[in-house]
């Protein structure tokens, strides 16, 4: 089919996670985000950081319902919002290309407009040019994160300052990439705990692009609604699997080293920034759902019910890669996803995965409709060559899960450090 | 419309889990839903009904966050769930056609399977054939509502029992209907406050269709996340307008008469049931958003900020259709949506509008991308000839809003009364 799909040029669709208390707007933030952006937290009541924040998250009592709208995530800080922010219920991704004739000056003006708009919206102020659909709601943990694609540097005459990390990703055998839905000069990640707030932000930012940039592609995704589960930190994906258990955590001593570009890496505008790898990964759910739960679990290496590794323990128990079953076989199969993706299988390579699920109706395969659904995969890392690239190379060769996946779109973006008060995102590049 | 506009939706997603707090699953339901389905409310703590429930809703303290997952809506009752249930954050609509060769017997078996599955899921039990994506979450106010299209009665040999209300809708001048995304033998409305729960229900029900029915079309939508706003009963749509103010309310004395088919209408299986008119209404947002706020407000007849009629007062103040401004012009313009759609303009015709917004990315018009976004309009009524049809006829001729809308898909479905304990939806038709 599906008629549902046929009129669309771009994918779509949307809805995930929070904590806070009382009705004082923005008096408390969700603490994982707070931990990651502690220095930024002008709005953060306490100075919680690192391990303390993570602990607080686990033990925090459920917050009242109205905090979902009142929660705000600071726009300014050493890192952009939306990287360590807890997953939101609704997300949009959009790429823009600079318009013909637009260069560095127009890009700078655009980033200035966009930053001002993103700040306003993340404080719950309705933009003058807004749609009105966010009225009545608070900021609902809105974040907007901006990234620059490889081509951005050519278009702005800044090719000499293009960071090494933006080298094109290698081709992988499982790729079936659609160039029209890949790459782009500029990349936006929008997340909020309310779908109308997220829509308003997307539309307002698109309109404020004015004549400077043209939408290239746009996709929408979702995660759990805050409060729909007591599970504290990990998400579920559309395969039904707990997703994100092995993510680096803000309280890990080497968290920043894995996720954020260090200040001494040579490009001041990128200090405190990150690289985002974005992939639209369609899940072949019709095939997957026909496997028994036991076979699904062997493919992943974890129990579906609670995410515990098949080597024993509970979700957060370290995976014992050598554990043998009574018959001498490995508890974690040689091609289990959890083994092939593990840092210890990849020379310590790791990344912060922070994805949204998507569901864009159904595709007509000629053999009946199959869900056009899966993961809008987002991975954050200080260096793609020490994060996504080695892990995906390994997965591409040896992951039992890969036959249930199709990578349909891809992008790699350099994400500047957070804007300081009075600054816009990317200013140190564009005016530096 | 468009019903769209006046889509004064119904008792919107309230912040109002009224009763206890804490974590006893399903000990508290949101009370507007409870009021509408009071007889059904085996799970309702008190016997609140009508006005009392509405009052409780307005005054209720915010419910704890975790109630979003724990909230359950009873499957059994005099009416199907999902009609008077407060709007949920995520929704799916799907139509199925009976498979070639399938008839009444297969339809009965299908409805039996689907009802059993819908009941399990709405109690928060993961179906054995489920995707796993709802694990960890509670029922999250999941509802599944089943309807029968005109063709269903031919396919099942029940044409003689097809109710008069299923006469084809007239053509309207603003229609640009896509037949492949319209109609269908069977119609499902799925709503939940968590997008993964809603997805799991859609996919599980589709898989349980087995060989009996084939997906015809499917669309997805959204509304505010519970707790993202304090606004108690009305929604916002993507035009930024408060939507649903003029909906009939469960506490109105003639609510049931407008919404539910009476027991003496001649078809026992339809008693307590309703007719659903479903329309995919694309909003021409690029055009709309270029109007000034003042012009937008004149088109609607209400203030954007708070939904108050331009004749004065606040949102719930009755519209004064005769109010004149200082210059002698009408405060509510002759073609204002609120005037043309009003029951008093349509011989008292009214319906319960309970819609979801949708956003399916962008359409390429050749002149740049325009949002493929708008309203998945759903109107509930005891008789379409006294609800949607006269109102839409009037709107089609005289509504200033209609030039900003395109009706792209349409369906009319007879929605059986609720299943009693031990019964499945439609049993009294299929086995009667």
Confidence tier at A41 by pLDDT (50, 70, 90): very low
Q: Out of A7-16, A263-272, B391-400, which region has the weakest mean confidence (pLDDT)?
A: A7-16
Calpha distance A55→B29 (Å, rounded):
32
What residues in A contact B362, CB-CB < 8 Å?
8-10, 215, 218
Q: Interhelix angle for B104-122 vs B195-208, to 10°?
A: 150
What are the tens digits of pLDDT across the range A300-313? 999 999 999 999 99
Is B195 in Cβ contact with A89 (below 8 Å)?
Answer: yes
CB-neighbour burial class of residue B113 (10 A; exposed 0-12, middle 13-18, buried 19+): middle
Percent of chain A with pLDDT over 90: 75
Answer whether residue B189 is part of any domain: yes
Establish, for the pair of chains A and B, how many residue pairs have beta carbons separated by less than 8 Å.
267
Confidence tier at B61 by pLDDT (50, 70, 90): very low
Percent of chain A with pLDDT over 70: 84
CA angle at A144 for the pair A138 and A150, rounded to the nearest 5°: 170
Q: Is A270 helix (H, G, I), strand (E, B) or coil?
A: helix
Is B68 an interface residue toward A (CB < 8 Å)? yes
Q: Are B159 and B212 in contact (CB under 8 A)?
A: no
Q: Which residue of A has its CA nearest to B180?
A: A3
Is A67 an interface residue toward B (CB < 8 Å)? yes
Q: Which residue of B has its CA nearest to A220?
A: B361
Calpha distance A308→A310 (Å, rounded):
6
Q: Are A202 and B38 in contact (CB under 8 A)?
A: no
User: Quick count: other Cβ atoms within 10 Å of Cβ A189?
Assistant: 25
Q: What phi and psi, each to the nearest 5 degrees, are found at residue B189?
A: -115, 125
Is A11 in Cβ contact with B68 (below 8 Å)?
Answer: no
Calpha distance B384→B401 (Å, rounded):
22
What residues in A contact B203, CB-CB < 8 Å?
285, 289, 371
Confidence tier at B232 by pLDDT (50, 70, 90): low
Calpha distance B382→A131 (Å, rounded):
34
Calpha distance A373→B227 (Å, rounded):
27
Is B259 an interface residue toward A (CB < 8 Å)? no
Is A7 an interface residue toward B (CB < 8 Å)? yes
User: Quick count: other Cβ atoms within 10 Å of Cβ B380?
Assistant: 27
Domain containing B75 equals: 31-168+184-232+258-271+417-430
User: Quick count: other Cβ atoms within 10 Å of Cβ A231?
Assistant: 18
Q: List, in order, residues 6 or more apart from A366 with CB less than 8 Å away.
A: none
- Whole-number pLDDT of residue A62: 38
User: Quick count: other Cβ atoms within 10 Å of Cβ B331?
Assistant: 18
Give me the catalytic one of B193, B243, B335, B396: B243
Out of A1, A16, A68, whose CB is closest to B227? A68
DSSP output for B379-394: EEES-GGGTHHHHHHH
Give me the catalytic one of A200, A243, A383, A399: A243
Calpha distance A169→B246 (Å, rounded):
55
User: Quick count: other Cβ atoms within 10 Å of Cβ A265?
Assistant: 16
Chain A segment 310-329 residues within 8 A of B by beta carbon are none
Cross-strand bridge partners of residue A353: A379
- Whole-number pLDDT of residue A368: 84
Confidence tier at A127 by pLDDT (50, 70, 90): low
> Measuring CA to CA, which residue among A32, A375, A393, A358 is closest to residue A226?
A32
User: Quick count: other Cβ atoms within 10 Å of Cβ A61?
Assistant: 10
Q: Out of B135-139, B189-193, B316-320, which region has the weakest mean confidence (pLDDT)?
A: B135-139
State mean pLDDT over A33-46.
29
- Whole-number pLDDT of residue A230: 77
Q: Out of A16-30, A81-95, A213-227, A383-397, which region has the weakest mean confidence (pLDDT)?
A: A16-30
User: Quick count: other Cβ atoms within 10 Å of Cβ A256?
Assistant: 18
Which carries the bigger pLDDT value, residue A192 or residue A138? A192
Confidence tier at B81 by pLDDT (50, 70, 90): very high
Is A219 an interface residue toward B (CB < 8 Å)? yes
Q: Out of A80-89, A266-275, B123-132, B327-336, which region has the weakest mean confidence (pLDDT)?
A: B123-132
User: Quick count: other Cβ atoms within 10 Å of Cβ B49?
Assistant: 18
Look up tokens 């620059």; give the residue: A148
What residues in A contact B222, CB-CB < 8 Å?
14-15, 90, 195-196
The C-alpha of B410 sits at a distance from chain A's nearest C-alpha, in angstroms, of 13
End-to-end Cα separation, chain A, in angstroms: 51
Is B218 in Cβ contact with A361 (below 8 Å)?
Answer: yes
Look up tokens 């809805």; give the residue: A15
The C-alpha of B77 sits at a distance from chain A's nearest C-alpha, in angstroms, of 25
Task: Output the domain CATH number for residue B203.
Answer: 3.30.70.100
Out of B132, B217, B357, whose CB is closest to A4? B217
B286 Cα distance to chain centroid: 26
What residues in A contact B230, CB-CB < 8 Å?
66, 69, 136
Chain B segment 182-211 residues within 8 A of A by beta carbon are 193-197, 199, 203, 207
Q: Are B307 and B237 in contact (CB under 8 A)?
A: no
Is B363 in Cβ contact with A228 (below 8 Å)?
Answer: no
Percent of chain B with pLDDT over 70: 84
- Whole-number pLDDT of residue A301: 97
Confidence tier at B127 by pLDDT (50, 70, 90): low
What are the strands, taking DSSP E only, across B54-123? Answer: 90-98
- Whole-number pLDDT of residue B125: 87
Does the pLDDT value for residue B15 go beyond 90?
A: no
Is B220 in Cβ contact with A361 (below 8 Å)?
Answer: yes
Confidence tier at A265 by pLDDT (50, 70, 90): confident
State mean pLDDT over B270-286.
97
Q: Which region holds residue B301: left if phi is over 0, alpha if psi is between -120 and 50, else beta?
A: left
- Whole-number pLDDT of residue B12: 30
ipTM of the complex: 0.86
Out of B132, B216, B361, whose CB is closest to A10? B361
Q: Tell me the average pLDDT of chain B.
A: 85
Question: What's the residue count for chain B?
Answer: 432
DSSP output for A315-327: TTSPP-TT-B-TT
The C-alpha of A318 sits at a distance from chain B's nearest C-alpha, in angstroms, of 21
Number of domains, chain A: 1
Out of B68, B135, B236, whose CB is closest to A135? B236
- Whole-number pLDDT of residue B234: 76
What are the tens digits of pLDDT across the range A360-370? 999 988 888 99
Instruction: For residue A399, indicate whether it is catalytic.
Output: no
* 3-state DSSP helix/strand/coil % of chain A, to nearest 5: 30, 20, 50
Q: Tell me the average pLDDT of chain A.
A: 85
State mean pLDDT over A326-334.
96
Is B241 in Cβ contact with A6 (below 8 Å)?
Answer: no
Chain B segment 86-115 residues within 8 A of A by beta carbon are 89-90
Does the pLDDT value for residue B259 go beyond 70?
A: yes
CA angle at B169 for the pair B164 and B175, rounded to the nearest 5°: 175
Confidence tier at A57 by pLDDT (50, 70, 90): very low
State mean pLDDT over A387-391.
96
Q: Are B394 and B346 in contact (CB under 8 A)?
A: yes
Calpha distance B431→A130 (Å, rounded):
53
- Whole-number pLDDT of residue A232: 64
- Whole-number pLDDT of residue A216: 97
Does the pLDDT value for residue B16 go beyond 80?
A: no
The C-alpha of B230 sits at a distance from chain A's nearest C-alpha, in angstroms, of 7
Does the pLDDT value for residue A419 go beyond 90?
A: yes
Chain A segment 127-146 residues within 8 A of B by beta carbon are 130-138, 140
Establish how many alpha carbons lie within 13 A of residue B291's alpha carbon, considering only the half-sphere containing its beta carbon.
20
Out of B63, B194, B369, whose CB is closest to A228? B194
Q: Out of A198-212, A229-243, A378-392, B102-116, which region has the weakest mean confidence (pLDDT)?
A: A229-243
The C-alpha of B324 sits at a distance from chain A's nearest C-alpha, in angstroms, of 27
Is B302 an interface residue toward A (CB < 8 Å)? no
What DSSP character marks residue A391? H
What are the strands, taking DSSP E only, across B105-185? Answer: 143-149
What DSSP character marks residue A1? -
Calpha distance B380→B275 (Å, rounded):
6
Chain A segment 21-50 residues within 8 A of B by beta carbon are 23
Is A9 in Cβ contact with B369 (below 8 Å)?
Answer: yes
Is B64 in Cβ contact with A68 (below 8 Å)?
Answer: no
What residues in B contact A197, CB-CB < 8 Å?
228
Dihedral of alpha carbons A338, A340, A341, A345, sign = positive
């Amino acid at each position: 089919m599906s008629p549902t799909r046929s009129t669309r040029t771009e994918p779509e669709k949307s809805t995930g996670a929070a904590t806070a208390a009382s009705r004082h707007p923005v008096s408390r933030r969700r603490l994982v985000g707070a931990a990651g952006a502690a220095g930024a937290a002008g709005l953060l009541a306490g100075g919680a950081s690192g391990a303390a924040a993570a602990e607080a998250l686990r033990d925090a009592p459920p917050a009242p319902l109205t905090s979902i709208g009142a929660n705000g995530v600071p726009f300014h800080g050493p890192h952009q919002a939306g990287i360590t922010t807890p997953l939101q219920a609704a997300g949009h991704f959009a790429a823009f290309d600079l318009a013909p004739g637009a260069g560095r000056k127009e890009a700078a003006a655009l980033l200035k407009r966009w930053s001002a708009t993103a700040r306003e919206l993340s404080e719950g102020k309705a933009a003058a040019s807004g749609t009105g659909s966010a009225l009545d709601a608070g900021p609902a943990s809105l974040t907007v994160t901006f990234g620059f694609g490889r081509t951005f540097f050519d278009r702005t005459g800044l090719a000499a300052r293009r960071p090494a990390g933006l080298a094109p990703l290698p081709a992988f055998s499982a790729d079936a990439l659609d160039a029209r839905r890949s790459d782009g000069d500029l990349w936006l990640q929008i997340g909020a705990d309310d779908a109308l707030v997220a829509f308003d932000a997307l539309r307002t930012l698109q309109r404020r692009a004015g004549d400077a940039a043209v939408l290239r592609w746009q996709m929408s995704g979702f995660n759990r609604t805050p409060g729909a589960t007591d599970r504290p930190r990990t998400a579920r994906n559309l395969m039904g699997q707990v997703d994100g258990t092995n993510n680096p955590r803000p309280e890990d001593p080497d968290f920043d080293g894995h996720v954020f570009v260090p200040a001494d890496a040579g490009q001041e505008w990128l200090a405190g920034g990150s690289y985002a790898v974005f992939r639209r990964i369609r899940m072949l759910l019709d095939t997957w759902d026909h496997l028994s739960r036991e076979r699904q679990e062997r493919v992943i290496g974890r129990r579906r019910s609670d995410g515990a590794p098949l080597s024993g323990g509970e979700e957060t128990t370290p995976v014992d890669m050598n554990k043998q079953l009574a018959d001498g076989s490995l508890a974690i199969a040689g091609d289990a996803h959890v083994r092939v993706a593990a840092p210890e299988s990849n020379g310590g390579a790791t990344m912060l995965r922070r994805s949204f699920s998507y569901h864009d109706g159904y595709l007509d395969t000629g053999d009946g409709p199959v869900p056009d659904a899966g993961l809008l995969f987002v991975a954050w890392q200080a260096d793609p060559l020490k994060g996504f690239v080695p892990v995906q190379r390994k997965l591409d060769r040896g992951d039992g899960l890969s036959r249930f996946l199709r990578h349909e779109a891809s992008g790699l973006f350099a994400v500047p450090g957070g804007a300081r008060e009075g600054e816009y995102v990317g200013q140190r590049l564009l005016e530096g």
